[in-house]
């Protein structure tokens, strides 16, 4: 048993250098020693027990140490071991039998001698004794022969065993205790020690003859009596994995790992000792290099600004650098498993992290995933996680190596850039100051704040709050108190007034109760502020070209966000864009007012110019009726008549442009044959075309093309395009007018071979007073309002007009696209039943419900002026009854109605069979996501925020998808 344990321990120690080679060497040595001392039984038991202890089939497998021998090694081990055990048993049995025979013969001889002495005179007894002695001698000779044979066999087996031991890759030395001499050493021992170590020499002499000096790991040299073999012979000490550094005279050193054990007889007395040792110099150097490499890795992992981790296949964490502990505040003992590590990851990101890891394991490939990790302050930041599985030769993952890089600043910059881009897009689409500010406040919540307020400086220098938006987490009455009733206080350490006066931003990263007390105006205000519970506050001025326009205020509450200098930078950028938008809106308003006055001036001018034309024309008529034959008088009359007509057309164009600009031009829609309208236009333009000698080519479809249009205005459009082509084409040119049918539209082209249009002028040809660049003798330019009038008239007909030209000298083409009337469109694309919409009929029945009579009345008048049938109600119950009797197409409902509110009214209407087809439009002062969701859940089709642009409402009522 002891030899098996020594063999297992020795193999475990040598495993770091032998790896999976010579797995059963120590077991074989243990079997040799046991059979030598105990015979066949102990030798065989030691052979089997050593196999079980050393290989993974036994205890070593449970402890996951050792390796798995090959089939060849197992066969060799079994045959050689069994042979040695058998030889040891036979030898021991032979020796025991010989000893027993010798003792028996001696005893008989003694008895015989005693009998002969007593009965010397008796001859028969003497003869008997002689015979008996002869028999005993013969038996002794036979036993001696048997013993000699056994000794010979033992010598053969011993030589066989010695040959095996010489092949063991470890150095083996055996010594007798009685003589202190070496009885065996193999070549490996001689090679490692660099000394003959001849058997028969004493151990002490051999140690003294070794050239190398042995040193302990602590640098203390070995005394000759301290060597493991000497200690084992002297005290019976079992030595395991004792490392000795051998330093040779030429400066070379080796490190050996030594194991030694005593050989005991049946009485427990030390009769011999065996030592085995291996040269582990290279293994030790490799181990030292591995340790140094790991130390370098740990130093590198600790120096880089990333979190570095290594996990095993079972998700247990093998390594985390200091980056993890510094960021999360966790201790090393609290992050031993994947579950504990996952507790710091944002719950919303866990699934994506686990899924990325699962895919990487399945494919044994790297992965990348973005997720948030909670810091020691409780705030989550974004990280980019990268993981690489380490796989074995079969492609199975055994461990994971990964990093996590803080990308929160980058993500934050990206979100800020998108936010500012959205703001820019919104600001570019609005032309109303308050709408602009509401749009900005609506974008700021919840991306940047939980509450946002915008204040502007009035002409009397007072501050007026024009927009408030919040996330809905705070009660409405609390928001009303802090947003409208108490907005600022003179002399307060923080707040709106100080920002406006100083033109400097105010950042309060952490709002404390002391700050709330300092800014509160009274107890009610203080209680409201505490209920509002702001975490962080930020206020920035709106600074324009001419000074401070107002300020924007932001606060965080339920989100727990803490403002920092980066947030201040974003807020300043937002305020700068808002200030530019406000100034642009104001400039646009002034420009629009100037444009309106210009239109009024043109209309007045046209009216005043038209008055004197009537008497002039009458005078020309009188002259014609007089019938004067004077050539000069006739020429003068024709000139005046021609110029009066020209001026009349110019005045008509001016008036039409003015009406179109002010939306005062009304079309008289009717079904119009396009060919007839083109014919009228050609007839109108024929005198001008003929005067320039142009050739007009017409290409019209053979089938009738019907439009829903104002025929007079269509003739005006086509005639204007023909006249324009005639004026800008050299004499004798070619002008082509063609008509092409497309799906649902008709395309009219007027193409000429004239001077063309410069590419730089092409985008501006439809602008008011735009002029082409004619040659110096060109005198037909006009006022530059003809094409602007064409564009306005075409757009009134729901069409579009487009100008094309390859450049100067390449001619030009004007394309007009107009929608076909229903009967014509049906030939191109049939429409199914029920395909109509509210836009298909000129009037709709509209129910307007608002508890404010002024709002209801004014909105009703707007809709009535547009030709709609309008009915008014001022509370929910009356509105429900009126809706049941009227069955309106549209219902415009206020939310805050007395009695039955707007949500309840909408639900009640939707429950009725007649109410399912009504388009419900909510009009309310609340415009957050939650408010819009409640409107949708109540059954509203649309949600508008007060004050509503009338044009927006009119578009909804006239939109083909209004009832969707």
Average confidence (pLDDT) over 939-957: 77
Q: What is the pLDDT of residue 836?
A: 34
Q: What is the pLDDT of residue 473?
A: 85
User: What is the residue-averaged pLDDT of the chain?
Assistant: 79
Q: Which residues contact 482 (CB under 8 A, 6 or more apart)?
A: 525, 528, 529, 532
Q: What is the pLDDT of residue 832?
A: 34
Sheet with 397-406, strands from edge to edge, namely 317-320, 307-312, 397-406, 380-391, 367-374
Please state, in angstroms and rounded to a whole number, the distance separating the CA atoms of residues 391 and 623.
111
Q: What Cα–Cα distance (Å) separates residue 752 from each residue in 48, 659, 732, 784? A: 112, 30, 11, 19
Least confident of 28-42, 626-640, 689-703: 28-42
Q: Is 697 exposed, middle or buried (0-12, 13-18, 19+ CB in 10 A)?
A: exposed
751's tokens: 């193409």
Q: What is the pLDDT of residue 776?
A: 36
Confidence band, pLDDT 50/70/90 cuts, at residue 964: very low
Q: What is the pLDDT of residue 903?
A: 93
Given a cut of 50, whether residue 67 has pLDDT beyond it is: yes
Q: Which residue has the tokens 């307060």?
A: 492
Please state, in angstroms and rounded to a whole number, the distance separating the CA atoms of residues 674 and 737.
12
Pairing mode of beta strands 890-894, 845-849: parallel
Please state, in angstroms and rounded to a whole number, the distance separating the CA atoms of residues 931 and 445.
14
| Distance, first Cα to last Cα, the chain | 91
Q: Which residues contact 636 (CB under 8 A, 6 or more apart)?
A: none
Instruction: Compute φ and ψ for 237, nearest 5 degrees.
Output: -65, 135
Q: Among 314, 162, 177, which Cα is nearest to 232's?
A: 177
Q: What is the pLDDT of residue 412?
A: 85
Confidence band, pLDDT 50/70/90 cuts, at residue 482: confident
Least confident of 205-219, 251-265, 870-884, 941-955: 941-955
184's tokens: 């065996």
Q: What is the pLDDT of residue 196?
A: 58
Q: Among 427, 444, 453, which Cα is nearest to 581's?
A: 427
Average confidence (pLDDT) over 218-235: 87
Q: What is the pLDDT of residue 352?
A: 92
Q: What is the pLDDT of residue 921?
A: 94
Confidence band, pLDDT 50/70/90 cuts, at residue 678: very high
Q: Is 732 exposed, middle or buried (0-12, 13-18, 19+ CB in 10 A)?
A: exposed
Please state, in angstroms and rounded to a whole number, the distance separating the CA atoms of residues 192 and 714.
114
Please state, in angstroms and rounded to a whole number, the distance separating the CA atoms of residues 88 and 95.
11
430-465 per-position pLDDT tens digit: 667 788 788 888 888 888 899 999 999 988 888 888
271-301 per-position pLDDT tens digit: 889 988 888 888 787 777 777 777 776 666 6
Confidence band, pLDDT 50/70/90 cuts, at residue 743: confident
Q: Do residues 675 and 825 make contact, with C-beta atoms less than 8 angstroms apart? A: no
Please state, in angstroms and rounded to a whole number, the distance separating the CA atoms of residues 707 and 673.
7
Q: Among 143, 14, 131, 139, which Cα is nearest to 67's?
A: 14
Asked whether the CA dihedral 226, 227, 232, 238 is positive or negative, the reply is: positive
Please state, in angstroms and rounded to a whole number, the distance separating the CA atoms of residues 240 and 259.
5
Confidence band, pLDDT 50/70/90 cuts, at residue 612: low
Please state, in angstroms and rounded to a whole number, the distance separating the CA atoms of residues 501 and 520.
19
Please state, in angstroms and rounded to a whole number, the distance separating the CA atoms of residues 926 and 511.
27
357's tokens: 């890891």
Q: Which residues contact 926 (CB under 8 A, 6 or more apart)?
A: 895, 945
127's tokens: 């003869």
Average confidence (pLDDT) over 200-208: 72
Given a cut of 70, whether residue 902 has pLDDT beyond it is: yes
Average confidence (pLDDT) over 849-858: 79
Q: Is 850 exposed, middle or buried (0-12, 13-18, 19+ CB in 10 A)?
A: buried
Instruction: Compute φ and ψ for 271, nearest 5 degrees.
Output: -110, -20
% residues pLDDT > 90 (the chain): 23
854's tokens: 């002024």
2-38 per-position pLDDT tens digit: 666 676 666 666 665 555 555 666 777 777 777 767 7
Please state, in angstroms and rounded to a whole number, the distance separating the CA atoms of residues 337 and 347.
17
Least confident of 167-181, 431-445, 772-786: 772-786
What single string gives the DSSP state of each residue in 488-548? --TT-SSSHHHHHHH---EEESS--HHHHHHH-SSHHHHHHHHHH--SEEEEEEEEETTEE
| 3-class state of residue 868 by DSSP | coil
Please state, in angstroms and rounded to a whole number, the distance separating the CA atoms of residues 271 and 253.
33
Residue 374 backbone zone (phi > 0: left; psi -120 to 50: alpha; other: beta): beta
Q: What is the pLDDT of residue 962?
A: 43
809's tokens: 């000298």
272's tokens: 């011999």
Please state, in angstroms and rounded to a whole number, the distance separating the CA atoms of residues 215 and 195.
18
Asked whether the CA dihedral 214, 216, 217, 219 is positive or negative, the reply is: negative
Q: Among 840, 834, 800, which Cα is nearest to 708's?
A: 840
398 or 885: which carries more pLDDT confidence? 885
Q: 674-691 and 711-727 are packed helices; what angle lies between their axes, rounded to 10 degrees?
A: 30
Please state, in angstroms and rounded to a whole number, the distance separating the CA atoms of residues 886 and 510.
58
332-374 per-position pLDDT tens digit: 765 566 677 788 899 999 999 989 988 888 888 889 999 999 9
Please state, in angstroms and rounded to a whole number, the distance separating the CA atoms of residues 419 and 347.
25
Enumerate domains of the chain plus CATH numbers. 1-168 (no CATH), 170-277 (3.30.450.20), 304-406 (3.30.450.20), 413-591 (3.30.450.40), 666-828 (3.30.565.10), 841-958 (3.40.50.2300)
110-123 per-position pLDDT tens digit: 776 676 566 555 56
Q: Which residue has the tokens 């205020």?
A: 553
Instruction: Compute φ and ψ for 625, nearest 5 degrees.
Output: -65, -30
Q: Do residues 190 and 196 make contact, with C-beta atoms less than 8 angstroms apart? A: yes
Please state, in angstroms and rounded to a whole number, the distance separating the CA atoms of residues 304 and 374.
20
Q: Do residues 74 and 23 make contact, with C-beta atoms less than 8 angstroms apart? A: no
Q: What is the pLDDT of residue 937?
A: 93
380's tokens: 């989550």
Q: Is 507 exposed, middle or buried (0-12, 13-18, 19+ CB in 10 A)?
A: middle
Given a cut of 80, whether residue 234 has pLDDT beyond it is: yes
Q: What is the pLDDT of residue 940?
A: 95
């Amino acid at each position: 048993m002891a030899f098996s344990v020594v063999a297992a321990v020795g193999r475990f120690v040598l495993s770091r250098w032998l790896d999976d080679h010579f797995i059963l060497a120590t077991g074989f040595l243990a079997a040799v020693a046991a059979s030598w001392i105990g015979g066949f039984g102990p030798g065989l038991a030691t052979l089997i027990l050593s196999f079980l202890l050393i290989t993974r089939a036994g205890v070593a497998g449970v402890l996951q140490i050792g390796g798995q021998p090959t089939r060849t090694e197992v066969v060799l081990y079994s045959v050689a071991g069994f042979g040695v055990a058998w030889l040891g048993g036979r030898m021991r049995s032979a020796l025991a039998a010989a000893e027993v025979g010798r003792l028996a013969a001696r005893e008989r001889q003694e008895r015989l001698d005693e009998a002969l002495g007593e009965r010397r005179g008796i001859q028969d007894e003497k003869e008997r004794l002689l015979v008996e002695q002869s028999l005993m001698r013969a038996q002794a000779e036979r036993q001696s022969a048997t013993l000699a044979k056994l000794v010979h066999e033992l010598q053969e087996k011993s030589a066989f065993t010695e040959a095996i031991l010489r092949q063991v890759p470890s150095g083996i030395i055996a010594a007798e205790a009685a003589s202190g001499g070496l009885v065996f050493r193999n070549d490996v021992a001689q090679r490692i020690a660099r000394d003959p170590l001849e058997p028969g020499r004493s151990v002490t002499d051999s140690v003294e003859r070794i050239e190398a000096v042995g040193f302990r790991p602590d640098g203390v040299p070995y005394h000759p009596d301290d060597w493991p073999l000497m200690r084992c012979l002297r005290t019976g000490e079992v030595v395991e994995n004792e490392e000795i550094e051998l330093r040779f005279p030429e400066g070379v050193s080796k490190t050996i790992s030594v194991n030694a054990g005593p050989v005991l007889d049946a009485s427990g007395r030390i009769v011999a000792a065996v030592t085995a040792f291996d040269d582990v110099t290279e293994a030790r150097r490799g181990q030292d290099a591995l340790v140094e490499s790991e130390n370098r890795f740990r130093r590198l992992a600790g120096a880089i600004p990333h979190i570095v981790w290594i996990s095993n296949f079972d998700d247990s964490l093998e390594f985390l650098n200091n980056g993890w502990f510094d960021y999360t505040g966790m201790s090393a003992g609290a992050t031993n498993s994947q579950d504990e590590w996952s507790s710091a990851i944002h719950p919303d990101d866990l699934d994506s992290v686990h899924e990325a890891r699962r895919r990487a394991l399945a494919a044994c490939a790297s992965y990348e995933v973005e997720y948030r990790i909670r810091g020691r302050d409780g705030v989550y930041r974004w990280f980019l996680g990268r993981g690489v599985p380490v796989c074995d030769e079969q492609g199975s993952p055994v461990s994971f190596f990964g990093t996590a890089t803080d990308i929160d600043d980058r993500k934050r910059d990206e979100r800020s850039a998108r936010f500012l881009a959205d703001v820019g897009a919104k600001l570019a689409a609005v032309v109303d100051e308050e709408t602009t500010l509401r749009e900005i406040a609506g974008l700021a919540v919840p991306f940047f704040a939980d509450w946002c307020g915008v204040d502007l400086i009035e002409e009397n220098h007072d501050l007026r709050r024009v927009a408030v938006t919040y996330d809905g987490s705070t009660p409405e009455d609390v928001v009303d108190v802090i947003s409208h009733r108490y907005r600022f206080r003179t002399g307060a350490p923080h707040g709106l007034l100080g920002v406006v006066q100083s033109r400097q931003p105010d950042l309060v990263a952490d709002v404390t109760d002391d700050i709330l007390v300092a800014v509160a105006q009274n107890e009610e205000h203080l209680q409201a502020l505490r209920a509002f519970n702001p975490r962080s506050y930020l206020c920035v001025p709106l600074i324009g070209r001419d000074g401070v326009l107002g300020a924007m205020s932001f606060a965080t509450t339920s989100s727990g966000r803490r403002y920092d200098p980066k947030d201040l930078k974003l807020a300043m950028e937002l305020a700068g864009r808002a200030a530019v938008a406000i100034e642009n809106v104001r400039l646009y308003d002034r420009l629009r007012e100037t444009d309106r006055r210009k239109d009024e001036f043109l209309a007045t001018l046209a009216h005043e110019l038209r008055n004197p034309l009537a008497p002039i024309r009458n005078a020309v008529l009188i002259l014609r009726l007089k019938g004067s034959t004077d050539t000069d008088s006739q020429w003068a009359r024709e000139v005046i008549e021609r110029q009066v007509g020209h001026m009349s057309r110019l005045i008509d164009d001016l008036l039409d442009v003015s009406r179109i600009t002010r939306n005062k031009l009304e079309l008289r829609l009717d079904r119009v044959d396009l060919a007839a309208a083109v014919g009228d236009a050609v007839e109108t333009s024929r005198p001008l075309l003929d005067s320039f000698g142009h050739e007009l080519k017409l290409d019209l479809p053979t089938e009738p093309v019907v439009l829903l249009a104002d025929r007079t205005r269509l003739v005006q459009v086509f005639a204007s395009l023909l006249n324009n082509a005639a004026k800008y084409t050299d004499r004798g040119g070619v002008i082509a007018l063609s008509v092409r049918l497309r799906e649902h539209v008709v395309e009219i082209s007027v193409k000429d071979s004239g001077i063309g249009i410069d590419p730089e002028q092409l985008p501006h040809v439809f602008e008011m007073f735009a002029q082409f660049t004619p040659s110096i003798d060109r005198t037909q330019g006009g006022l530059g309002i003809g094409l602007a009038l064409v564009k306005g008239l075409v757009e009134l007909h729901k069409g579009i007009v487009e100008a094309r030209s390859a450049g100067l000298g390449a001619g030009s083409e004007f394309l007009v696209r107009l929608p076909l009337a229903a009967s014509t469109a049906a030939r191109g694309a049939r429409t199914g039943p029920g395909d109509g919409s509210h836009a298909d009929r000129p009037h709709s029945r509209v129910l307007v419900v608002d508890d404010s009579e002024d709002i209801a009345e004014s909105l009703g008048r707007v809709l009535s002026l547009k030709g709609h049938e309008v009915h008014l109600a001022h509370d929910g119950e009356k509105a429900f009854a009126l809706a049941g009797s009227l069955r309106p197409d549209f219902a415009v409902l206020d939310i805050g109605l007395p009695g039955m509110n707007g949500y309840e009214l909408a639900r009640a209407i939707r429950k009725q069979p007649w109410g399912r087809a009504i388009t419900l439009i909510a009009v309310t002062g609340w415009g957050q996501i939650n408010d819009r969701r409640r409107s949708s859940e109540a059954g509203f089709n649309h949600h508008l925020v007060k004050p509503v642009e009338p044009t927006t409402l009119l578009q909804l009522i006239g939109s083909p998808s209004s009832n969707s």
